[in-house]
Amino acid sequence: MEIKDLADYHHLVSDLFHLPKTVDEWEPYRLSKEQILHFHENGYVSGIKLLEKHQIIQLRNELDDLMDPHHPGHHLFYEFHSNESNDNDSVLFHSLGHWRITKGFHDVLWNPAFIMAAYQLLENKPVRFWHDQVFSKPAKHGGVVAWHQDYSYWTRTVAMQHLTCWTGLDDATTNNGCLHYVPKSHKWGLLNAPELAGDMNGLLNFLTDEQKNEFNPVPIELEAGYGTFHHPLLVHGSFENKSKNPRRAFVLNVFADGTTSNTNKPLLKGVPPIAKGSKMQGKFFPILYPVLGY
C-alpha cells in the first residue's frame, strides 16, 4: 500500500480538529497572563488541556500501528528506535517524523489549543514547525529519558527561539515515569548534551556546585490529553516505568519564524539540507500560526 507523504499538506487533512475562524473563536485557547509569567519565571507551564477523549483514542490507535517496523510508511520516519536504550529490561520507544505518516499525528500540529499557546509563549511571533517525537514506555519495563536540555541537541539551528510541548496519551504519574522539570534551570545557559536514553544522571557531571544545589526536580503529573510546554534550555527528564500501566506521549517542537540553519548538513534524516545562514522554511518546516486562510 502506497503511503502519501503528509508533509506535502500544510493544513488539516481530517476532521479530528477544527480551526477557529474569528478572533472571538480563538479566545478560549489563549493562556492567561499568570500562565505566561510562570513559564518565563520557571521555564515551563503545565496542565493545559490539549486533547479530547476521542482524539486521544485515535492517536493511541495510530501509534499502535506506527510502532510496527514493517509499517508501509516506515521510510518516512526521520528516526525510529524500537528501543533506544538497547536494554530489553529498560525499553524506550522513540521516533521522529510520524506527522508525515498518519492523519491524526499530522493534524495535531494544527490543534488550536497547541498553536495558540505556542504563539503566546514565543512572544507572539509566527510559529514554525521543527519536528515531532513519540516516547513510549511499556508497562513494567519502561526506560528512562536522561536529564537534558532540548536545545543542546538542536544547535544546528539558530537563534535559540524554540519551544517544546509534551502531551500525554496516558495518565502520566510518578509511578509510570512522568516528566520531571528542574525549575528555573533554563537560566543556567547551554550545557553539554548527554546520551538521551543512557545514564539518567549523566548531565550532573557538567553542572557547577551552585547548579547542583539548585537541582530540585519536580514531577509533572498529568491526565491523558493534557500537555506541558517548556523552554529549550530547561533541564528535564523522566524515570523508568515499573508500573502496570503504559506511558505514551508525543512531543511537538517548534521555533519562531526567522530561525536559520546553522549547518550545511541535513537537519533531519531524508530532509534536503538548508544552507547555513538560510531561513528554516519549506515543505518540512511549515508555518503553524498564524494559520493561512483563516
- Domains, the chain, in order of start with CATH, read 29-289 (2.60.120.620)
pLDDT of amino acid 90 = 84
Phi, psi of 190 (to 5 degrees): -80, 130
Q: For residues 206 and 223, give the distance between their C-alpha atoms in angstroms, rounded to a whole number.
A: 33
What are 64's three cell numbers? 499502535
Q: For residues 4 and 107, give the distance between their C-alpha atoms in angstroms, rounded to a whole number.
A: 14
Residue 214's pLDDT band, with cuts at 50, 70 and 90, is very high
pLDDT of amino acid 111 = 98
Q: Is 34 helix (H, G, I), strand (E, B) or coil?
A: helix
Crossing angle of the two packed helices 112-121 and 33-42, in degrees rounded to 10? 60
Distance of alpha carbon 87 from the chain centroid? 24
For the segment 20-73, what is each residue's pLDDT rounded down to a tens digit? 999 999 999 999 999 999 999 999 999 999 999 999 999 999 999 999 999 999
pLDDT of amino acid 292 = 61
- Residues 146-171 as b/e (b if ≥16 CB within 10 A, e otherwise) read bbbbbbbebeebbebbbbbbbbbbbb
CB atoms within 10 A of CB 77: 21
Q: Is the separation of the CB atoms in 110 and 11 below 8 Å? A: yes
What mean pLDDT is reported for the chain?
Answer: 95
Residue in 10, 8, 104 with CA at minimum distance from that of residue 56: 104
Mean pLDDT value across residues 143-169: 97
pLDDT of amino acid 86 = 73
CA geometry: angle at 16 spanning 294 and 122, to 5°?
A: 55
pLDDT of amino acid 89 = 77
pLDDT of amino acid 198 = 78
DSSP at 140: T
For the segment 88-98, what is each residue's pLDDT rounded down to a tens digit? 778 899 999 99
